[in-house]
Amino acid sequence: MAKHTLKNRKTVIIVACIVVVIIAVALGLFISQPKVKEDIFTFEYGKKVEIDTSAIFGDSSDKVKNIEVDYSSLKMVKDKDYPEVGEYELPFTYRTMIKHSDKLKVVVKDTTKPEFTSFSEKIEVAKGNKDFDFKSYFKASDLSNCTLDIDTKDVKFDKEGDYTAEVTATDAHKNKESKKFTVVVKAEEKAVIQSSSNSAVKPYYKNGILIVNKKHPVPPGFGGGVNQTALAAVNRMISDMKAEGLSVDSTTSNYRSYSYQSTLYQNYVSAYGQASADTFSARPGYSEHQTGLAFDLREPGGGSLLTNSKATSWVAKNAHKYGLIVRYQSGKEWITGYQAEPWHVRYVGDIATSVYNSGLSLEEYLGVSGGGY
């Protein structure tokens, strides 16, 4: 009986030793397994998220096999190959002795300031014009939508002189870029050049449609504000654009008086020279905006003219349904006298669809002269 008991004790001891050895070996193998060295990765907004898997395990990466990162949880910017700003958890798997599962943290930040693509160092303003549209002189570019803010607190609009103002571009993630510019307040008559100042000029109509171009001006006193029928049509179009998820601002640049256009044109001439200014800005008396029938659509935030291709393509195909036409088309510069402006729409009412279907400019459709001055 004693011998049997002793034999059982020896068996238990041997089994215990074997178990201890197995545990020790397993523990040793576990301790020696490659460990995750880096599990947080930061990317700048606009960059494609691609993780270098060798960075996850550092020097031990050669001991790891079949590393697979699941990127499906990234919220991608529409039609882009990079994700929205935010923090993400990406599952990943890898194999050593066995298959493992873990998670990586990805942080997408936007630290890039907007960039000014159009900037006027000096802007002339007619004395007393406190409602001057400074924003039309600046454009800013960024991956996200930009807004422009103008600080003119130090400008005395009722006193001639040179003043310092500041324009600030802010993107959707609060990155800002600011620049100072000079506002020259001067008597209104000094801002008028190359204009049709003859009050005897008569507005020109063809088939009931008012024509304003480089051949057909209107007198200084013509117009008295935005046309309400035209404004209602534009607002309906903008509302429908927003309903379809298109990026467009609710406000437009519309009616401009003769004196306002004088100042606007003169500033462009000062900045770019008259020959260049004449390709994109009307001389006073020659602007459709004076009629109250023309509208410049804007990007969200109201700072920049509408240029995103999805929105402008939609406008080109659908504006006629609202009695509007895209007035200055690409390839028609020789007859309209201006560079293509996909943001500039003109209310023409019932003939809009016929003009659209013809593929012609308004001058061609009505058979009137256009082109240069």
The one-digit pLDDT tens for each residue of the chain (373 residues) are 555 565 666 676 676 677 665 665 555 545 445 677 888 999 999 999 998 888 888 877 777 788 889 999 999 998 899 999 999 999 999 888 778 888 999 999 999 999 887 777 887 777 877 777 787 678 788 888 888 899 999 999 889 999 999 999 999 999 999 999 998 887 754 333 444 455 568 899 999 999 999 999 999 989 888 999 999 999 999 999 999 999 999 999 999 999 999 999 998 988 888 888 899 999 999 999 999 999 999 999 866 899 998 999 999 999 999 999 999 998 889 899 999 999 999 999 999 999 999 999 999 999 999 988 8
- For residues 231 and 233, what is the distance between their CA atoms, to the nearest angstrom? 5
**Fold equal for 33-109 and 110-191:** yes
- For residues 336 and 339, what is the distance between their CA atoms, to the nearest angstrom? 8
Residue 132 near residue 263, CB atoms below 8 Å:
yes
Provide the terminal-to-terminal Cα distance of the chain, rounded to the nearest Å.
126
Q: Which numeric CATH code is attached to 33-109?
A: 2.60.40
Tell the burial category of 268 from Cβ atoms under 10 Å away from its Cβ (0-12, 13-18, 19+): buried
Domain ranges in the chain are: 33-109, 110-191, 192-373
Reply yes or no on domain 110-191 having CATH 3.40.50.1580. no
Residue 246 near residue 311, CB atoms below 8 Å:
yes
As given in the structure block, the two tokens for residue 221 are 């006193």
pTM of the model: 0.53
CB atoms inside a 10 Å sphere around CB 227: 19
The CATH class, in words, for 192-373 is: alpha beta
- For residues 72 and 314, what is the distance between their CA atoms, to the nearest angstrom? 31
